[in-house]
Structure 1
Amino acid sequence: MATTVELTRFSVAPHQTDAMLAARPAMLADFRADRAGFLGARLVALPDGEWLDIVEWRSADDFAASRAKGANRPGIAAFFAAIDHLVTAEEGVLAEPE
């Protein structure tokens, strides 16, 4: 089974950056507790207030099940609330051996 990679690029208003970063640990804890197949995530700061979230899932089905749950836990909801707008969202498969 190939690892599924979620690539989400989003913008955060400057006054929300601290709130987004503060919410990140609770969001990750909620994902670990509530999302089967969640393997990990990395957050990359880009220019102009944009961010890239790189999330790895055990499978495409696990990723789809996570999306269906949305912001169902407080840590996830707080992180999502700090996002100004979604720029792009893509899904791929890890091409390099782990």
Structure 2
Amino acid sequence: MTTVELTRFRVRPEQAEELLAARADMLADFATDRAGFRNARLVRLPNDEWLDIVEWETAEDFAASREKGGNLPGIARFFAAIDSLVTAEEGTID
């Protein structure tokens, strides 16, 4: 089963372009540093909120990624553009 990470967060309007600019580097860092990383989609929602949908091969891969946090420059830059966390959930695709 594929594990899905659903993270909803707020970005101040003046940081939205920075978030988007950092996205490619974040994904490149994930691809090289995060075992089990499959895919990610970023959705812009109303009221300065965003939803990041990230697919992992296993729940263990997702847990290991969370422990690493913003350990590489591209990931840290993306995280720095986020103002606040709204929700973080984990699910599976059967």
Report the counterpart of residue 22 of structure 1 in structure 2.
21
Partner Cα distance (1:81, 1:55) in 2: 18
Unaligned residue ranges in structure 2 (runs of 5+): none
CA RMSD of aligned residues (A): 0.4
**1:43 correspondence with 2:42:** yes
> Where in structure 1 are there 5+ consecutive unaligned residues?
none
Aligned length in residues? 94
Three-state SS of the structure 1 residue aligned to 2:38 is: strand
Instruction: Verify: 1:52 aligned to 2:44, yes or no.
Output: no
Q: Letter of the 1:90 partner, please give it.
A: E
TM-score between both structures, scaled by the size of structure 1 = 0.95
Q: TM-score, normalised by structure 2?
A: 0.99
Aligned to 1:86: 85
